[in-house]
Amino acid sequence: MADPRFHIHAGTRTLEEVARAGGAEILRGDPAFFLTDVAPLDQAGPGEIAFAEGRRNRDALRATQAGAVIVAAAMQADVPEQAAVLLARSPQLAFARIAGLFHPPPVPRPGIHPTAVVGEGAEIGERSEIGPYAVIGEGAKLGPGCIVGPHAVIGPNCVFGAGCRIHAQASAYFCLAGNGVVLHQGARVGNEGFGFVPDPSGNFVTVPQLGRVVLEDRVEIGANSCVDRGAAGDTVLGAGTRTDNLVMIGHNVRTGRGCIIVGQAGISGSTVLGDYVTVAAQAGLTGHLSIGTKARIGAQAGVMNDVPAGMDVLGSPAMPARDAMRGFAAVRRLAAKKVSTDRTE
């Protein structure tokens, strides 16, 4: 189903290979049956594998033409007779792993493009690819197997570990990055933080931003997102953390492991997130807050106070989700009452 002009295709795989890759169990079907690709449930053909999860997909599952389907045990009876059945605790997770089997990430084409600029003392690891017009600053270090896309910039003395991908027009300055870090198109890492102090005459005096950005292993920064360097200490994104596109991370922010920060969210300076925090789209967090482990910040929430571990918050100003929902319901009731009153006058 994936367009081979844009996506690497690793060839056909047997049902047994697919099940092993997805951590799934073959409930029905020939382990030697060949599958050609993954596909959406409603578009999959006889040689393709899809997944179904949740009641809203039940009708599409019953009508699918897929050659194999990944489901949880509760939906196995809904799979059409022609399809092989793979059982998985999380069908979507199994599907993601199987999709990676058919479509592995790009492999570097080792070499430095003639138009690229590599500064004095820079070290580029073996099997790395440096694309057209990329710039690698003096003293920068790239580990083995990195890909630096067209017009990307790695600033002087920055360090990236093995297997990093810096996509087209991304830039990184004052940055130390671990292994498997990804900067998507146009990401800006290591910018000067937004720090200034007014003097007696009302002019702004810039506070020198003397810290760094530390991206731990497997951090991904979305397209056109910005991560400012620290003012005195560092801005740190914990291992496995991912930002969506158009995200703003202020100076001295520190996140734990596995945090998710969704599009157009903004986190102001010196706020600290615990492990596995979710910040939904367009949420805004003021500075110097503490957000506890596994807290979830709802879309468009305005967070002005600390959030305890495990708490869900909504609204602006943000409040516990249950309180916010009661408030929303009360507003709807008042609005309905006002409309009813107006009509009787």
Q: Which residues are catalytic?
A: 251
Please tell me the distance from the alpha carbon of residue 272 to that of residue 116, in angstroms, as a whole number.
38
Please tell me the distance from the alpha carbon of residue 301 to that of residue 83, in angstroms, as a whole number.
44
Contact predicate 147/116, CB 8 Å: no
Strands, DSSP E only, in 42-149? 48-51, 68-71, 84-87, 111-112, 117-118, 123-124, 129-130, 135-136, 141-142, 147-148
Return the closest-CA partner of residue 276 out of 292, 253, 257.
257
Q: What is the CB-side half-sphere exposure of residue 181 using CA atoms within 13 A?
A: 28
Grouping H, G, I as helix, E, B as strand and the rest as coil, residue 213 is strand
Contact predicate 161/140, CB 8 Å: no
- Report in angstroms the alpha-carbon separations of 222 from 72, 144, 302: 31, 23, 22
Contact predicate 88/24, CB 8 Å: yes
What is the phi/psi pair of residue 328, to 5°?
-60, -40
